[in-house]
Structure 1
């Protein structure tokens, strides 16, 4: 992304519905951010609800959730998200399970639906080595690790160890798991092999390195820095891999770059930081220095609109997954990184073509 401020409160929507049968999928749904004539930086891919995505459902019903929310294997109150390949894992705090939505094979399975490792209030997800899935449970006050087949192999949380585990993140290079303990106002860091507590950082307060009900966490893949959403201090704090404070950004307010109820956080391969805000119903994107680059969203049920956005996850291919909690779905976007442009030259040219066409239409 450019290191300049590009603010957008609406998105660019093309050909939402085809003119044919209502049950057909849209011929083209393209939301590009920021709008032309700016260089495309991010575009909408799809929304996932569960089985509703794989059945013969009217396209409008999928977008607005009509007759799908909480029915069958469909999301009801999602919060956390992670992804491995074509499978998207989503915690559902109302149902008390993790959904495994396999977009390639068009099926939905569950994790944490049976002992050992039966979940009660799953909150956040982190992806480990060998396609392992880690889940925090705020009610059981534990963190569980599962194989892709749902088998439990890892558990953290002796009595009194956590007060309310929430956001979790894994540094695969260092073999560490970082656990945000919201009610303890700190972050605990463990070795994944031994499950031994290595160190913790933070305490309740408003000074640098202190927290007031932190919630979610992400690790920068380029430098191993750790970003923590300090929710009730209305900011994001950045630490090095060992918990030493580096920087902060954000404050309470209703202008771009400010927060009211920050929740989810994710970081792409170029160190851009995505932060969802449940009060503004939007997602703001910052550079690694905390400068606001763009924002998108607003209250609503259409693509690139949100009601109570929550968890955010960015995979190794720079796909950005955003939990749209009250709309009972996960919205997926693609960051147009330099690597993505090289790997998808034809699609990138198509994004540019659409932009040029719309710019010409606006001029005429």
Structure 2
């Protein structure tokens, strides 16, 4: 090869290298196969968007220079999530295998950290949590039989419940009260939000009554109604804020629309009810009349499926962090978070979608 040919070859290689290195990075979201429920030709309602299993899914990738200065970032996994709550751009995950703590994922700052109080405020088995608008954090620790409360900076405020021998499996807070699912005493306990004093409980019933709670697992509040998943009877019971029984949705069974192990529960603004079933490993959606509209998930085989799911939560306020995953043919109405105790996708994020109308 003469010098001129050799020179042209080198120039060609350099040109290709420069072109590749300067080309835009492929958007990971655009390369992932879209998972839509229900399957075509039915109208799409739910889209699987993404999943979060460790800090690698959140924290920005380090440059080689940063690694050389501060060292490589430690990978922080989500071990075995149970409860979760999204508020003000942060996802709080109760992890029963973290050793008494939560993962807090900040989507605005792309930071991932563990929250594990020490000393006399140390948690043991935090199952579920609720976060108020001012970032006050309420944690239901079923092993310590307490509701722990921390401020937005993580400073301990107070705890209550053990003296009443409660077994708290979930907590939800409205403008006046703290509602606690007491799975040990088959009831919902209500406490004053300001004084933390016990006020009343419901239902006041006996086994065999239509409103009896055999093992309340989770609760949520929407439109001044308390929705409770009863894992002991395989159904959903609905009460007023004062505890008056309204009705029961679904029943124990293995047919479509039945429930076997209902756990997490969430309700959208139209009062559609989302229920996690840990046995079917899916989320079932009922309308306010109790009719099954749709189910999604299923025994884990690939993205979008579930592996021993425990909690579902609906969020209307943090769409901007996940819109990049949405198929451009659809609008995103709200987010649906699901916690999976096992498998590669510990927290799966779905979107309630509607087709964009063509003008």
Q: For the superposition of Structure 1 and Structure 2, which TM-score range results when normalised by the shorter chain?
A: 0.7 to 0.9
| Residue of 117, 132, 154 corresponding to 2:136 | 132
Displacement of 1:55 in angstroms is 5.9
In structure 2, how many angstroms separate the alpha carbons of the residues matched to 1:214 and 1:306? 22
In structure 2, how many angstroms separate the alpha carbons of the residues matched to 1:126 and 1:55? 24
Please give the secondary structure, in 2, of the residue aligned with 1:163: coil
Q: Hey, what does 1:80 align to over in structure 2?
A: 83
Whether the 8 Å contact between 1:323 and 1:329 is mirrored in structure 2 is yes
| Residue of 166, 169, 172 corresponding to 2:169 | 166
In structure 1, how many angstroms separate the alpha carbons of the residues matched to 2:294 and 2:268? 15
In structure 2, how many angstroms separate the alpha carbons of the residues matched to 1:151 and 1:301? 41
| Residue of 330, 346, 349 corresponding to 1:332 | 349
Whether the 8 Å contact between 2:87 and 2:133 is mirrored in structure 1 is no
Displacement of 1:249 in angstroms is 1.4
- Aligned CA-pair RMSD: 2.4
Q: Hey, what does 1:207 align to over in structure 2?
A: 209
Displacement of 1:265 in angstroms is 0.5
Whether the 8 Å contact between 2:276 and 2:312 is mirrored in structure 1 is yes
Distance 1:167 1:301, change over 3 A: farther
Runs of 5+ consecutive residues of structure 2 not aligned to the other structure: 1-25, 62-73, 318-333
In structure 1, how many angstroms separate the alpha carbons of the residues matched to 2:260 and 2:286? 16
| Residue of 93, 97, 103 corresponding to 1:94 | 97
Displacement of 1:196 in angstroms is 1.5
Q: TM-score, normalised by structure 1?
A: 0.77
Higher relative contact order (CA 8 A, sep 6+): 1
In structure 1, how many angstroms separate the alpha carbons of the residues matched to 2:159 and 2:316? 26
Q: TM-score, normalised by structure 2?
A: 0.78
Answer with 93-102 or 145-154: which moved more: 145-154
1:176 and 2:180 are equivalent in the alignment: no
Q: How many residues align?
A: 303
Please give the secondary structure, in 2, of the residue aligned with 1:27: helix
Displacement of 1:35 in angstroms is 2.8
In structure 1, how many angstroms separate the alpha carbons of the residues matched to 2:304 and 2:102? 24
Please give the secondary structure, in 2, of the residue aligned with 1:285: strand
Q: Hey, what does 1:237 align to over in structure 2?
A: 237
In structure 2, how many angstroms separate the alpha carbons of the residues matched to 1:306 and 1:204? 35
In structure 1, how many angstroms separate the alpha carbons of the residues matched to 2:58 and 2:173? 31
In structure 2, how many angstroms separate the alpha carbons of the residues matched to 1:319 and 1:276? 15
Structure exhibiting the larger radius of gyration computed from Cα positions: 2
Displacement of 1:301 in angstroms is 4.9
Q: What does 1:265-284 align with in structure 2 at a 5 Å threshold? A: 265-284=265-284
